[in-house]
């Protein structure tokens, strides 16, 4: 079955392509293995390898081998690097920018993007998202979360709103109305229980 073109950036073939390109172009100083990219985007390693072949053939990425590892990085010396990066920041940027900012913060059990960005990522029609809403499950320090949100805002060029709730509230059989409404809407995972520090 052919993937549905993503509403966040319909020029691309799939959300997986958008997320892979965002990880590469929004962290151009880093090299990524196909294994890491698969884990961070929730995409199979075979899909990552196939897309990496396409990116390399189009001159979007550079690669090198280190033993059995295939290391990939964005090629920032092409004429389309800057406009492509700009498009990725405002579309798939939150999925690539937020996890590295949140992972070092202790007390995060889970983290999700919700709201309009998550809805567009799930291909629910609507206007382009103006802000990014993030749900933090756990006991993370609010000042650290605030600092991460401000850093993300500078990178993404839009408001980032973080809401923190306790793990007990999130797993309750009788959730508050806000939690109940979130559970019925798209959530894009940033950190899941097995990923948390």
pLDDT at 197: 47
- Burial of residue 64 (CB within 10 Å: 0-12, 13-18, 19+) is exposed
Query: What are the residue ranges spanned by the domains of the chain?
Result: 15-91, 96-191
The domain 15-91 is placed in CATH, from the list 1.10.150.130, 3.30.565.60, 3.30.70.1050, 1.10.10.10, at 1.10.10.10
Instruction: Identify whether the C-beta of residue 120 lies closer than 8 Å to the C-beta of residue 126.
Output: yes
Fold exhibited by the domain 96-191:
Beta Polymerase; domain 2 (3.30.460)
The residue among 134 and 180 whose pLDDT is bigger is 134
Q: What is the reported pLDDT for 130?
A: 94
The overall pTM is greater than 0.85 = yes
Share of the chain above pLDDT 90, in %: 79
Alpha carbon distance 45, 58 (integer Å): 20
Average pLDDT, the chain: 92
pLDDT-based confidence at residue 1 (cuts at 50, 70, 90): low
Note the pLDDT tens digit of each residue in 14-42: 899 999 999 999 999 999 999 999 998 98
Tell me the three state secondary structure of residue 39: helix
Residue 45 has pLDDT above 50, yes or no: yes
Per-residue pLDDT tens digits for 121-138: 999 999 999 999 999 999
Q: What b/e readout covers 24-36, taking b as 16+ CB neighbours within 10 angstroms?
A: bbbeeeebbbbeb
Hey, what are 93's tokens?
A: 């940027």
| Chain segment 56-86, per-residue pLDDT in tens | 999 999 999 999 899 999 999 999 999 999 9
Burial label, 1 (beta-carbon count in 10 A; 0-12, 13-18, 19+):
exposed
Identify the CA nearest to 46 among candidates 62, 35, 57, 61: 35
Backbone φ and ψ for 80, nearest 5 degrees, come out as: -95, 0
pLDDT of residue 48: 95
Residue 90 pairs in a beta bridge with none
Q: What is the rounded CA–CA span in Å between residue 186 and residue 180?
A: 12
Average pLDDT of the residues in 107-113: 97
């Amino acid at each position: 079955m052919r993937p549905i073109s993503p509403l966040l950036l319909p020029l691309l073939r799939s959300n997986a392509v958008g997320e892979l390109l965002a990880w590469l172009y929004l962290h151009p100083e880093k090299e990524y293995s196909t294994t890491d990219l698969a884990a961070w985007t929730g995409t199979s390693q075979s899909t990552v390898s196939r897309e990496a072949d396409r990116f390399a053939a189009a001159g979007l990425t550079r690669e090198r081998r280190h033993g059995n590892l295939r290391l990939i990085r964005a090629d920032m010396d092409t004429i389309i690097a800057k406009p492509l990066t700009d498009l990725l920041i405002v579309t798939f940027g939150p999925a690539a920018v937020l996890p590295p900012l949140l992972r070092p913060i202790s007390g995060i059990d889970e983290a999700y993007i919700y709201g309009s960005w998550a809805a567009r990522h799930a291909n629910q029609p609507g206007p382009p998202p103006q802000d990014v809403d993030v749900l933090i499950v756990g006991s993370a320090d609010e000042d650290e979360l605030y600092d991460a949100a401000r850093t993300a805002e500078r990178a993404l060029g839009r408001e980032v709103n973080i809401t923190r709730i306790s793990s007990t509230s999130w797993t309750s059989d009788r959730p508050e109305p806000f939690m109940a409404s979130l559970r019925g809407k798209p959530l894009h995972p940033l950190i899941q229980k097995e990923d948390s520090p």
